[in-house]
Amino acid sequence: MSSVSIPPPACLLRPLEVPLRHLFGPGPSNVPPRILAAGSRPIIGHLHPEMYEIMNDIKRGIQYAFQTENNTTISVSGSGHAAMECAVFNTVEPGESVLIAINGIWGERVAEIAERMGANVHRLVKAPGGYFTNKEIEQAIVKHKPVLLFLTHGESSAGLCHPVDGIGDICRKHNCLFLVDTVASLGAAPIFMDKQNIDILYTGSQKALNAPPGTAPISFNDRACHKMFNRKTKPASYFLDMTHLSNYWGCDGKPAREYHHTGPVSGFFALRESLAILAEKGLEESWKKHKEVAAYLYRGLEDLGLKLFIPERDLRLPSVTTIAIPSGYDWRELLAYILKHHHMEMTGGLGPSMGMVMRIGLMGYNCEKNNADMALHALADALKNCKRSKA
């Protein structure tokens, strides 16, 4: 008699089926064949010398993408949220004051993360699509005396690309670290970590970089490292402890890299290839392409009678465009129609922008005018065929 009482699940006795879709939402984006091929290379050991060379390549690619010479530059094994937690857990100790600029969901998330690890969190809040002046930021820093200021560069929930110039200088003036989220903006909008005096910068692999989700580049400058490596208490997370991760990535100057965790080997292959594509294309060309395609999309949306959610063109996030929900329509019905009839993902708002916007993402590999045309055609078809209330 068999000792197995739970039978094999019938679903796993069938072949894996995954639909082919145009991922024109805020991410993940479609992965180009070259990156898919890199991720399918044979596995090697995560502590093999060849793996260290690939990790070194990734580090150099991140330094280029971030425009930084920071030695402590790595990729966290996890999504952008892992890098978000890594930044906060390592540079903030329980009881310390932090200031979080919130104009969408990502500031809300960082505030919760900081509260969970015992920080004294102060919120600077605007409605989705709003932005903070440097004067407002400095006044809040003077009032709350934080050790860390968080700002989202590419607020994908609202489609805003926040100005960064001058904020790093303010933070240095008041002995405050400057942490910036570029998950939705890296590769699509200019960012200069060193020139803009950003102390900690992170992103994700699955947006304009076009790699699969699961790796999250992050960089710490000397100011951040001094705070991080002179803590009174250990970080709340062992997995995200930069004392260990900096050694794993060969950033601590020690002759040997010790085992900390098994990194996502295939994910690192894909991330390296995505950074190679960005290096070959060039940052300035990538920024230019995203801006041009976004402008093309804006014109098409306005021709359909749709209203762009961010009125100031210079504040729009090139990678994720937000439109106000058209009057009389159920946005969920519109998006469901587009997914069913055009095999295309667009999304609604997220967090505080839920029910306010619909989002179209054209990032990296997807950033082409023919894709903008496809998105516009799908929207026009949905507007024609979905019910509109008379109210």
CA atoms within 13 A on the CB side of 278: 30
**Collapsed DSSP state (helix, strand, coil) of residue 121:** strand
Q: Nearest 5 degrees, angle CA 21-CA 25-CA 28?
A: 75
List all residues 6 or more positions away from 309 whose beta carbon is below 8 Å from its beta carbon: 129, 158, 159, 322, 323, 324, 356, 357
Burial of 50 (0-12, 13-18, 19+ CB in 10 A): exposed
Binding residues for substrate, as ranges, are: 359
Q: Which residue, among 213, 211, 218, has the nearest Cα to 276 in the 3D structure?
A: 211
Q: Are 361 and 27 contacting, i.e. CB atoms less than 8 angstroms apart?
A: yes
CA 24, 26, 31, 35: dihedral to nearest 10 degrees? Answer: 150
Closest CA to 162 of 220, 91, 103: 103
Q: Annotated binding site, which residues?
A: 359
